[in-house]
Copies of this chain bind each other. A is one copy, B any other.
Amino acid sequence: MELLLPPALRNLRQALEKLPGIGPRSALRIIQSLLKKPEHIHSLLSALEEVVQSVHTCPNCGFWTESEGFCDVCTDPHRDHTTLCIVKDAADVLAIERSQAFRGKYHVLGGVIDPLSGVGEKDLRLEQLWERLKKESYEELIFALGTSPEAETTTYYIARHLIDWHGRLSRFASGIPVGSELEYIDPLTLSRSLRERQPLTL
């Protein structure tokens, strides 16, 4: 169809379409804006090159870092050494940090068990988790993997594996998001919010 598009732009379009949330039309809009402002191509190029050169995942927790060894969270002496929060992706760490509600450590699994997408327990950073639980002195493990069936499976998989572990296991409450109207909440969330209702404190 798009015979007129020069091959280099067709390649760029394909590379852009592999990114989440970008389809053929938005890829073309991005290409157009890049060609109109060449300084944007160059800033994107140098930013990508910098990332390739300097960013890697922390061998301990799996979060992003530019340091040689462990990341800023793992090496921060002021963080709570007794709670470990298990998340799916590095972006989840940023989301929880934004809430400023958690001051413990993190462990990024890198996914959840999802046989249909070919993700098994071997693909997750589980060995590193068992190691950390042996070496570090956590008292509580907080699961924040989300509420999808795959996340639940993964949460229970890890919990079963830790049946003999000395600490407490907990997970983020699931319920009605703050600011939402009850009538727009799905039945599953509603029934779970009711089942896990909290005592009202005055």
Which residue numbers of A lie inside 8 Å of B, CB to CB?
Answer: 1-9, 11-12, 14-16, 18-22, 26, 28-38, 40-55, 57, 63-66, 72-73, 89-91, 93-94, 97-98, 110
Interface contact B55-A8, CB-CB below 8 Å: yes
Complex Cα distance, B129 from A134, in Å, reads: 74
How many copies of this chain does the complex contain?
2
Going nearest first, the 3 A-B pairs with the smallest beta carbon separation are: A12-B47, A15-B47, A6-B66
Asked if residues B45 and A8 are in contact (CB atoms below 8 Å), the reply is no
Minimal Cβ-Cβ distance residue in B for A30 = B19
Chain B residues lying within 8 Å of A28, measured Cβ to Cβ, are: 91, 94
Residue of B nearest to A39 (CB): B18
Chain B hits for A72, CB < 8 A:
4
